[in-house]
Chains A and B, each alone.
Chain A
Amino acid sequence: MVKLTQKGNGLYELDVKGYVCPHPQLYTVKSLEKLKPGDVLEVVFDNPSSNETITMACNKRGYKIIDKSSNGGVFVLKIQK
C-alpha cells in the first residue's frame, strides 16, 4: 500500500516500497504536484530502475534532488520542489 505522510513542517514521506514501474515515478511526480514550492518529499522505494527515471523527471520539472541514499535494495531520494 502506498503511504504518503507528513513528517514535519513542509516535509513529507512517500513510501512506495514493493511497487514496480511505473508506480514509484508516477506517485512521486503526482505527489510533488500537490506540494508547495520549497516543500521536501522523501521518496522511499525498492525498484532500482525508478531511481534514474525519478531523477530525470525531477530535473525536467526543476525539482531539486537534495539527497540520495541506498541500502540493501532500498532507495531514498530527498526532493525539494
Chain B
Amino acid sequence: MEADSETRRRLWAFGIIGFLLIVSVWYYAKNPMYIYLVAYTWFGFTYGVLQQWGRFCFASAWRDLIALRVTRMYIGIMIALVILGVVIAYLEVQGLSTFHPAPLGLHELLGGFIFGLGMVIAGGCATGTLYKSGEGNLSSATTLVAMMFSQALFVDVGGYFDKFLKGYVFKQPTVRVSSYFSQYGDAKYFIGDVLINGFLVVLILLGLTYFFVTRKDLMEQKAAAAATADGGNVSMTFREDLAGFWGMITASKRTAIAGALIGLVAGLNILVIQGLRNRFSMDNFGTALIRMGYTEDVSRTGRVFDPGYWYITSQEAQFGAWFLEKLGMNMRDNFFFGVTNGLPHPLNNPLLWMSFGLMLGAAVMALLSNEFKWKKPNRELFTFAILGGVLMGVGARIALGCNIGGFYIRAAGGDPGGWVFFLGMGAGAFLAVKGMTWWTERQLSKIDLDLEIE
C-alpha cells in the first residue's frame, strides 16, 4: 500500500517534469525566441524546488523572529542577499546585469508596511504563497487569487494609481550606492553595492538579532545552568559571543544552504536572461512578441513586464487584469498595464510562466518527499487568506514590488530602497503578529479543557 502510494507520488512528480519538458520543446519548435520564456520557467521551477526544500519564506523571517524568537529564516534571507549581491556586482563588471534601481521614497515604507501586515495574516509572502500552493495548500492558492485581482483593480479603478505614480513616485530619485564610488572604476559595485548596501547592513542586522534575541537566550540558559536566581550576574566572554553568533548562523543548516543556493540561482537567472537578450538583440520580451506578430500583447510603448530577474507580483496582476478584460473590463486605460507592462496572453507571459514553474517545482519536491497534501481552508483561514492577499497585493503595488522585487533583488543590487521596504515590512509584521497572537490566545481560551496553569 505504502509502496503503491510512493510509486504514484513519483509518477506524478516525473509527470510534472515531463510536462514542463514537453512544453519547453513545444515553445522552442513554435519559435526559437520562446527559449526566453522557457528559461524563465525553469528558473521558476528551481526556485520552487529550493524554497520547498529549505522551507524558504520571507514572511517567516520577520514573523517567527517577532512571534517566537526563531531566527532561522531571517538569517537565511541575509545569506541569500549577500550572495546574490556578489553575483550582481560581478555581472555588472561583465556588462551582463539586468539590475536597475527603483524610485526611492516613502512609498516603499508604506507599501512594505501594508505588505508586511498581509504576509503575516495570509501565512506567507508572495513567493511563499506560490510554493505553498504547489504543496497543495488551497489557503495559499486563495491568497494568490486575491493578490491577482486586488492588484489588477488597484492599479486601474478610478485612476488613483496613475495619479500616485505621476504625482509622487516618478518624482523620486533612483539611488544606487555604487554610483557614489565612481572613482574606483568597476570596483565601485563591490564597494558600494556589496560591501556597504549589502554586507554592512546585513552584519548590523544580524548583530542586532544576535544581541537582542540569541544572546539573551544564551544568557538565560547560562543563568539556568549556573542556578542563579535572576541571571543578573551571568556574563558572556568575547569567545562565547563569537561562538554564539556562529551558532545562530548555522542553527538551521538547511535554511542556510537553501539561502546560499537561492542567491546563486537568482544571480544565474540574471546572467541567462541578459545573455538571451543579447542573443536576440532586445532588451524586453515585448520586442520578441512584436516580431512574432503578437502586437495585442504589448503596451503602447511596445513592452511587456520583463524585469530580467526573479519577480512575483506584477505578473500576477497581469493575469488578474487579463481575466477581467475577458469579462469585458477595459484594463488598458491605465499607466501600469497600458504604458509599461502590457497585458500579454498568459501563454505569452514569461514571468507568469516563472511563477507557474515555481509552483510546479515546489509540487515536485513535495511529492518526492511525501509532503504533498491537498489542504482546504476553513472559513477562518479563507478569511485570513483573502484579507492577507488583498493587503499584499495593494502593498506590493504601492512599493512597486514585493519581498522579492521590492526587497530582495533591490537590496542585493545596491538600491537602499530595498531596505526601506524591509523596514516597512518588519513594522507591518510586528503589528500583525500582535493581532495573530491575540487571535490564537482567544481561540485557545474557547477550548474547554481543564489545563493546569503553572
Contacts and interface: CB of A to CB of B under 8 A. Distances in A.
Contacts of A52: 55, 72, 252, 254-255
Contacts of B69: 57, 60
A36 B123 contact: no
A30 B370 contact: no
B5 A36 contact: no
A27 B68 contact: no
Nearest to A4: B447
Interface in B381-438: 381, 385, 433, 436-437
A46 interface: yes
Given A4-B449, A36-B452, A73-B136, A18 B381 contact: yes
Interface string A4-21: 111000001000011111
A18 B382 CA distance: 11
A29 B69 CA distance: 11
B55 A49 contact: yes
A2 B102 CA distance: 43
Contacts of B123: 20-23
B371 A48 contact: yes
Q: Which of B70, B254, B370, B447 has the most CB of A within 10 A?
A: B70
A27 B376 CA distance: 19
Contacts of B254: 52
B444 A27 contact: yes
B230 interface: no
B375 A53 contact: no
A35 interface: yes
A73 B369 CA distance: 9
Interface string A25-48: 111011100111100000000111
Contacts of B132: 20, 47, 49
A30 B377 contact: no
Interface residues of B, number: 56
Contact of B370 (A6, A29, A47, A72): A72
Nearest to B217: A60
Nearest to A73: B373
A26 B437 contact: yes
B67 A26 contact: yes
A20 B444 contact: no
A56 interface: yes
B4 interface: no
Contacts of A17: 375
Interface in B95-119: none
Given A52-B55, A56-B252, A46 B63 contact: no
B71 to A, nearest CB: 8
A20 B453 contact: no
Contacts of B49: none
A6 B450 contact: yes
Interface in A47-67: 47-49, 51-53, 56-57, 60, 62
Interface residues of A, number: 40
Given A4-B444, A21-B60, A27-B444, A47 B137 contact: yes
B64 interface: yes
B79 interface: no
Contacts of A70: 370-371
B175 interface: no
A20 B63 contact: no
Contact of B440 (A23, A53, A71, A74): A23
A56 B73 CA distance: 11
B94 interface: no
B137 A73 contact: no
B135 A36 contact: no
28 contacts: A1-B378, A4-B447, A12-B451, A17-B375, A18-B375, A19-B381, A20-B124, A20-B139, A21-B57, A22-B67, A25-B70, A26-B67, A26-B68, A27-B443, A30-B441, A34-B453, A47-B137, A48-B55, A49-B132, A51-B55, A52-B55, A52-B72, A56-B72, A56-B251, A57-B68, A70-B371, A73-B373, A74-B373
Interface of A: 1-6, 12, 17-23, 25-27, 29-31, 34-37, 46-49, 51-53, 56-57, 60, 62, 70-74
Given A12-B451, A26-B67, 20 more contacts: A1-B378, A18-B375, A18-B381, A21-B123, A21-B124, A22-B67, A23-B440, A25-B67, A27-B443, A30-B440, A36-B452, A47-B375, A48-B55, A48-B135, A53-B68, A57-B69, A60-B69, A60-B70, A62-B224, A73-B136
Interface of B: 5, 52, 55, 57, 59-60, 63-64, 67-70, 72, 120, 122-124, 128, 132, 135-137, 139-140, 217, 221, 224, 251-252, 254-255, 366, 370-373, 375-378, 381, 385, 433, 436-437, 440-441, 443-444, 447, 449-454
